[in-house]
Amino acid sequence: MSAIHEFEGIQALADALRQGRLSAAELAGEALRAARAHGDSKLFLHIDEDLTLAQAREADAAIAAGRAGPLTGIPIAHKDLFVTRGWRTTAASRMLADYVSPFDATVVARLHEAGAVSLGKLSCDEFAMGSANENAVGGPVRNPWDPDRIPGGSSGGSAAAVAARLVLGATGTDTGGSVRQPAALCGVSGIKPTYGTVSRYGIVAYASSLDQAGPIARSARDLVPLLDAISGFDPLDSTSLQTCDGRANAPGRVLADYRQACERLQAAGARPLEGLRIGVPREFFNEGLAAEVGAAIEAALSVFESLGARRVEISLPRTALSIPAYYVIAPAEASSNLSRYDGVRYGHRAANYGDLADMTSRSRTEGFGDEVRRRILVGTYVLSHGYYDAYYLQAQRVRRMIADDFRKAFAEDCDLIMGPVTPTVARRIGDNRQDPIADWLGDIYTLGVSLAGLPGMSIPCGFGGGSRPLPIGLQIIGNYFDEGRLLALADRYQQATDWHQRTPGQQ
């Protein structure tokens, strides 16, 4: 068992490292052994001990020189969608089975600069296409709470590694809920920031207008230094924001906003959330929501009310339309982005083929899995002549209306929005094998946030699942660039509850 288990969070471990109670190299060695011991869970796709220990020695040197920051020496790992020098970047696909990037993604580089120590690359759904982490080339990742269950996707390896206490933080990407959903199903905390606040440079592209990097950690408090380190304008990303709501989009903004919000909450006394309006969409509590999930969400809302918040029923009338809109727009962008994998420049190339067209066709057929091929075909269809206006443009109009619904709610009715992340607890691996579209319906509560580009997060709020408890997540949605306040409110909830402190096997 790694020493990570002995510490409450990132701050406690960082203090121990600075005080010399253990070294980053010793910690990294223990974490690597624990990661290899979890091989049956298929969490890691690539581990390189030499690379990890080299980073750990850098961290020890920084600590000795008095240059330690909040993440110096902290063990993390990266979703296998972020390109990395040294470690392979495969996007969990045969198409990129042996690819090693000549450069680091901006998120990877910034965490390295902050002193974090990477254990390697974590499994995900192939090219981030999936909600269960069953589509990885290495096989399905297993949920630490029940190895027969999915961890959620596409960042399932990241959430499972944090839940198993192998790392204190992990990177993920959220296109339609792929940070929030696995965080909910694995009983950890995860946040998708406002679109454009974190660089997409070096992230293997799925749907460019939706993809957004976000961290996963045990608690909201642990998310703060991770998100703060990776946020900020990046000239290498054409969609990166230079300013946000009149403020510079720079490292330090999230931490400053979080501290400011925490100070206000602390000054408010016994009822720190007095005056806060929590919007609860009636569309989130429909017949598709499992009773045990609904009960856990209601209990969480009661905690916020006990702290002074006021519950307000709101409507997001186009919630149901987020599914068809997303599953037109995202596959359309994927069809364009994945056209670069043609067997010519890089990626898998078929061994036997006739002419150039046959080589491209065979290479893609062999290199891509079923779900990726399915989404490419859908995307190519909706972009084709005669269907572009009927499907793609119409979906973009619906996307604008969904964003307007959120804007109206924040302008007129509430300060933030809360509800479930997923309709049910984690299902069993293979349950939807005969009906792959069924997983798409499970994204109903997360897709609208992504389509609108809003920040949203998931924090643990209870358990369901009967004799073998399975985590349930509460979704908190904020207005644009409101990450600091979301994290402060989530932290206040976690001070009043202990769901985020539960570990697999503890129940």
- Alpha carbon distance 331, 478 (integer Å): 26
Whether residue 189 lies in the annotated active site: no
- Alpha carbon distance 127, 274 (integer Å): 44
Q: Give how far the C-alpha of residue 479 lies from the chain's centroid of Cα atoms, to the nearest Å.
A: 18
- Alpha carbon distance 136, 154 (integer Å): 9
Rounded to 5 degrees, what angle do the CA atoms 446, 448, 453 make?
100
From the CB of residue 463, how many other CB atoms can be counted at a distance below 10 Å? 19
Do 237 and 141 form a contact (C-beta atoms < 8 A)? no
Preceding omega of 467 cis (within 30 degrees of 0) = no
| Residue 426 DSSP one-character state | P
Residue 235 burial by Cβ neighbours in a 10 Å radius (0-12, 13-18, 19+)? exposed
Whether residue 23 lies in the annotated active site: no
Whether residue 363 lies in the annotated active site: no
- Alpha carbon distance 127, 92 (integer Å): 7
Question: What's the alpha-carbon Rg for the chain, to the nearest Å?
Answer: 22
Pick the catalytic residue from 41, 118, 154, 240. Answer: 154
Pick the catalytic residue from 2, 178, 322, 450. Answer: 178
Q: What is the largest CA-CA distance in the chain?
A: 75
Pick the catalytic residue from 23, 41, 42, 79. Answer: 79
- In sign, the C-alpha dihedral spanning 382, 388, 391, 397 is positive
CA dist 381 → 127, 147, 334, 389, 491 (Å): 20, 37, 12, 12, 45
Q: Which of 301, 303, 310, 321 is CA-nearest to residue 476?
A: 301
Torsion of CA 259, 260, 266, 269, to 10 degrees: -160
* Tokens read off for 16: 């121990």
Q: Give how far the C-alpha of residue 141 lies from the chain's centroid of Cα atoms, to the nearest Å.
A: 15
From the CB of residue 391, how many other CB atoms can be counted at a distance below 10 Å? 20
Q: Tell me the angle at which helices 322-337 and 370-383 cross, rounded to the nearest 10 degrees.
A: 100
287-318 as b/e: b if 16+ CB within 10 A: eebbebbbebbeebbebbeebbbebeebebeb
Residues annotated as catalytic (active site), given as ranges: 79, 154, 178
